[in-house]
Amino acid sequence: MPVESRYRDIEYILSVHIGGSVDDGTDLHRYHFADNRTRQTHDTTTSQDGLFSSSRRIFIAMTKSYRVLLVHNDYARPSGEESAVQSIADLLLANGHDVCWFRKSSAELLASKTKKLQAFFSGIYSPQSRREIGAFLDETPVDVVQVQNLYPLLSPSILQPIRERGIPIVMRCPNYRLFCPSGLHLNKGKVCEKCLGGREYWCTLNNCEGSIVKSFGYSLRGAAARWSGSIVDNVNIFIVLSEFQKARFVAGGIDPDKLAILPNVAADTPESTSTIESKWEAGETVSFVGRVVLGKGIGHFLEAAKRLPHLPFAVAGDTSSYPGIENNAPANVRFHGFLRGEELDEFYRRSRVLAFPSQWFEGFPNVILKGMQFAKPVITSRIGGLPEIVIENETGLLHDPTDVDKLTSCIESLYQDPELCRRLGQAGFDRANREYSSEVCHERLMNIYERATAMVRNHAASQSAV
């Protein structure tokens, strides 16, 4: 039976084996979700046909099964980080591991000034979250803790109790929050690196968050984490998403031995290899998927649409951070709002070209990987880790981040050549399934867990020898 442990404002998800085996393929895992808000549980079972080939059965049999605690502070509005951490959970469950969650959500802060004030301080140190995770770990043994986001309700203060219990900690870093309070190296839509070298105060001076109080809170919590070493000293391995990110972390002072690269997982989609090869359709829109903010390049996307009034452009993403953008956009742009599930899948299918003109040091955007899985060619900026994902003239086209002329010409030339779209899209589909498959990513993740476990074991041995 699943173990259920409830603490204030925390959701726990536990997966348990409920019978069956790798070979019989029935009722292999149950995914039990305890939701404090709806008090509902959702069970899904997985079949052998859907998950396990013979080679994967052998791999699973040879791999240690972990009980993993996933730690995440959800953003106030849906983001790529929620999708990414859920993909990790699904990957672990599909490969026979147990998963539990220590999770809070910033959505509760939106309508409460009091809670926003509390979050200002809890981002620096949260005695409540520290107590709660200690109590949870005393009740529920785990093998590894994987951290996604700590701010603002969890804070780095929860890491020491984990380490004191001898549990390996790995932290997935999709951004640069260890060195930049906002995490993006971005200010007013342009790359900014002023906070590097322990100068977090620039976040306040530049008002990077659009609120002096909020920007000061970000500066303070970033500086506090650096001064105390509460993150760097407690995390065994930092997971980055690209070679570009790894180089940035090394330059920021992180020991290369504490770094590992794990790109995002290509989640299962309804599109199979046979479907892509036999029923591929060009689609009709030039599409943008993601948060509608300057850093994602929405301004350049709309400018390209203005210059190409004869082409249909489409946007899938929450526009709440950019009030009035729909009214000021060119007439050939249609906004679909935030999409998920089948609606998002259909949006990708209707796309001919996916444009992602990002302006910041992207790690590994989920939207690009998903576009590749739908065999859509990608046009993106030559910045951050993006050139590692989109191979120029093989799976898509690249342009300099500030070059709207080049972006526009890439869109025009690719849109007018459906056969080139098909060829680039097919190559992207093949690359996604070859380089970022669940099998490949699971093996990499297991290697990371093994490294972190060995670090903790070796440290304990060295301490006992003193």
Q: Provide the token pair at 383.
A: 């910045």
Domain ranges, ordered by start, for the chain: 12-178+231-265+439-465, 273-436
458 forms beta bridges with: none
Instruction: pLDDT tens for the chain, 466 residues: list them.
Output: 333 333 333 333 333 333 333 333 333 332 333 333 222 333 333 333 343 344 443 444 445 799 999 999 998 887 878 888 999 999 999 999 999 999 998 988 887 888 888 889 999 999 999 999 999 999 999 999 999 999 999 999 999 999 999 999 999 999 999 999 999 998 888 899 999 999 999 999 999 998 999 999 999 999 999 999 999 999 999 999 999 999 999 999 999 999 999 999 987 666 656 556 656 788 999 999 998 999 999 999 999 999 999 999 999 999 988 889 999 999 999 999 999 889 999 999 999 999 999 999 998 998 999 999 999 999 999 999 999 999 999 999 999 999 999 999 999 999 999 999 999 999 999 999 999 999 999 999 999 999 999 999 998 888 777 6
Per-residue pLDDT at 270? 62
Dump pLDDT digits (tens) for 7-59.
333 333 333 333 333 333 333 332 333 333 222 333 333 333 343 344 443 44
In one-letter notation, the amino acid at residue 276 is: I
Q: Domain 273-436's class?
A: alpha beta
Dump pLDDT digits (tens) for 320-329.
888 899 999 9
Per-residue pLDDT at 15? 34
Per-residue pLDDT at 466? 64
Dump pLDDT digits (tens) for 353-365.
999 999 999 989 9
Per-residue pLDDT at 69? 97
Per-residue pLDDT at 267? 74
Q: Provide the token pair at 67.
A: 């009980």
12-178+231-265+439-465: CATH, from 3.90.1010.10, 3.40.50.2000, 3.50.50.60, 3.40.50.2300: 3.40.50.2000
Q: Do domains 12-178+231-265+439-465 and 273-436 have the same CATH topology?
A: yes
Vertex 199: Cα angle to 195 and 202 (nearest 5): 60
458 Cβ neighbours under 8 A, 6+ residues apart:
none
Residue 144 CA to residue 121 CA, distance in Å, equals 28
In one-letter notation, the amino acid at residue 278 is: S
